[in-house]
Structure 1
Amino acid sequence: MAAIFILSTMILGGTLWLALPTLEEDDRPLLRIPKSFVQLQALNGLLKKYRDIYPYRIVVCYVTTYLFLQAFSLPGSMYLSILGGAVWGVPRALLLACTCVASGATLCYLISAAFGPALLTVPKWKARLDKWSDKIRAQKDNLISFLIVLRIAPLPPHWVVNVVCPHVGIGIVPFWISTFLGIFGVSVIHTTIGSGLDEMTSAADFHLISWRNFFLLSAVVVGVLIPVGLRYWFKREIASVADVEQGVEELPEQEDEIVAVGPLPRGKKVTPAPLLQLSDEDSDEYSQDEEDVILEAGPAIVVKYTEENRSDSQRDLL
């Protein structure tokens, strides 16, 4: 870890040495990572002075410094977000700050994935990691929303989330997306404060804790939890439909039950036709004949009833 930190510091220093424009002697002491309101205002004036002359160089130096702070969870990220709002305005600074936070946290994620297994041999750290693993598994269906809420909440610290995530089965893509979306609300507050940095006289003018910021973060949390609520609602509806279908399939088969029997229908009495009587000679010839005998039917006889005998004939049939 010490070697990685020293190498990263050298890369940061080399990038600033190559990308930064040539500064005047009076401006060089102002170039530092801001840790107070006075240093922040001094760096703001320095960047605005060289922003119009060397726009791309200033962006490269800003991004490299931001990634360094996030990769090693060093203080100063909030001041850089405020500084971005002062230098580039809220829209561009917001996108830049969220991208830098997500990418820098991903670097911390990779460092933890490479060197973290050595800490897992310590029983104390292993027990804490198992506790977090259980919480993550419980929120497996709502993983992105759960990580976004962790980013918005003040506890646990963000560096804890960066270090723990690679060891509890969270992929790098969901981690980056949740970090970008989770830091969005806070970055809006910081960049908005930075847009009025020139008119401020002290850090008390930041107004980080205010009703406006509270409602803004609350709106972000509600927006994140809406998909969770919809997923829970539809999941419950689908489960109820599945229970109904399962209950229908489990019903035993029952035989049809006859409730009542009505009178039998009365049909017309059919008189069978007399059988054809064959003589002994005809029957012998019929049995010796191998060909089929085709009986041809004659024309049908239609019996017409008159009104007088219709009732008598119907009575005879019944």
Structure 2
Amino acid sequence: MPSLSLNLNRANNPSLYTLATVNDDDDDARPLLTPTTPSYGATPVTPRSSSHPSSRKVIFNAALKMACIFVLSTLLLGGTLWLALPTLEEQDRPLLRLPKSFQQLQELNGLLKKYRDIYPYRIVVCYIITYLFLQAFSLPGSMYLSILGGAVWGVARALPLACCCVATGATLCYLISAALGPALLTLPKWKARLDKWSQTIQQNKENMLSFLIVLRIAPLPPHWVVNVICPHVGIGILPFWTSTALGIFGVTVIHTTIGSGLDDMTSADDFHLISWRNFLGLSAIVVGVLIPVGLRYWFRREVADVGAVEADIEEEQTMNSLEEGDYSGEDRILAAGSRVANKSTTTDDEYEYSDEDDDEDIILEAGPALTSPKPGSP
């Protein structure tokens, strides 16, 4: 109790507090200033383990949350398919699975076409929810879904549907990374790398959309890497969605076009995913996307050159005028005196100022000329 009352008195009395920090006679009281205190009056530094969790613990918590999100999303997918899918016949149930071969792809194509005319909206809902699930967790199989879309609905309908599904599913991955990805920032190596990328993107912010579109077209890096990194380098959700939808457009055209001729194919070799036609088409898209970047760079360089030339001309004219002593460009007032008063009244003490006499010359009384004496004269 005496120790408690003494501490309370110190807290209420600044002088006692100051004395206690300098010289404390109580052996039981802990010193208020310690070697780890950064400065007087600052909160004493506490060990890192007691105030900030370690990087391993933060990453473990993020991984645990990610596992929970995956399980809940899987349950949501299963519940949606259970409610939305039409009742299948016994012989059709084994065909409902994600295709892993060309034969399974054709079997699933025939199954979807069979129930498409009977339950059109249910098939669309199941297609969309499955596509979003694969994209949100970067699981393989989205290419087959794009091919199936072209086979079931044709290129005109499947193309915008697949592009929107890819962009929205990638945005879900973007949001998951934005919520759980900061755990990686606790690692100094990753934080330094992301800070460097963020600085580079901010310096080229006007070309960010074109850069993201090219990344979607290029096979490297993998698209899931782009989805995970974008929220941590200063890229907003709207530019991300737009660039994903536009960047995936060319590849989706190829997939849906292949799907439109799936019924006539006999093997996976008929896909022709890698061909000169597809390569030239994607290259044309890349060139078209990079044209604004090149024009922007060219105009910026031209404006900089014109500005430099004008600055040199102006500096040269200024130097020439200084050398020739040409000051006739503008009148400069070095000093202004008081106005001259005109005596217009009958008394000597009152004067009236008039603007009419401002321009008149003021002639002072001239004295005798001064001559300098000649040398030798007295």
If the TM-score is normalised by the length of the shorter chain, which range does it land in? 0.7 to 0.9
Instruction: Give the distance between the partners of 2:196 and 2:271, measured in 1 at CA.
Output: 37
Amino acid at match of 2:209: I
Structure 1 unpaired stretches of 5+: 259-318
Tell me the amino acid that sits aligned with residue 182 of structure 1. Answer: G
Matched, 1:171 2:236: yes
Runs of 4+ in structure 1 off by over 4 angstroms are 255-258
Per-residue CA distance 1:50-84 (angstroms, 9 max, x = gap): 11111111111101100000000000000000000
Letter in 2 for 1:113: A
* Corresponding position of 1:220: 285
Equivalent pairs: percent with the same residue? 81
Larger radius of gyration: 1
Tell whether the 8 Å contact from 1:147 to 1:182 is kept in structure 2 after alignment: yes
1:53 lines up with 2:118 in the alignment? yes
1:189 aligns with 2:243: no
Corresponding residue number in structure 1 for 2:168:
103
> In the TM superposition, what is the alpha-carbon distance from 1:176 to its structure 2 partner?
0.5
CA RMSD of aligned residues (A): 1.7
Q: For residues 175-234 of structure 1, what are the alpha-carbon distances to aligned partners after superposition, in whole Å with 9 as ceiling and x for unaligned?
A: 011101110110011001101111112111111110000011001101101111111111
Structure 2: distance between partners of 1:37 and 1:2: 32
Determine whether 1:65 maps to 2:130.
yes
Aligned length: 258
Alignment-derived partner of residue 242 in structure 1: 307
- Larger CA deviation: 240-249 vs 22-31: 240-249
1:209 aligned counterpart, secondary structure: coil
| One-letter amino acid matched to 2:85 | L
Which region of structure 1 is more displaced relative to structure 2, 81-90 or 200-209? 200-209
Is 1:139–1:146's contact at 8 Å kept on the other side of the alignment? Answer: no
* 2:158 paired with 1:90: no
Q: CA deviation at 1:249?
A: 3.4
- Whichever residue aligns with residue 15 of structure 1, its letter is T
Q: CA deviation at 1:127?
A: 4.2
Q: Distance in 2 between matches of 1:154 and 1:257?
A: 66
What is the aligned partner in structure 1 of residue 106 from structure 2? Answer: 41
Q: Does 1:132 align with 2:197?
A: yes
Q: CA deviation at 1:44?
A: 0.5
- The Cα of 1:246 is off from its aligned counterpart by 2.3
Tell me the TM-score normalized by structure 1. Answer: 0.77
* 1:75 and 2:136 aligned: no
Larger RCO (CA under 8 A, 6+ residues apart):
1
Quote the offset at 1:248 in angstroms: 3.3
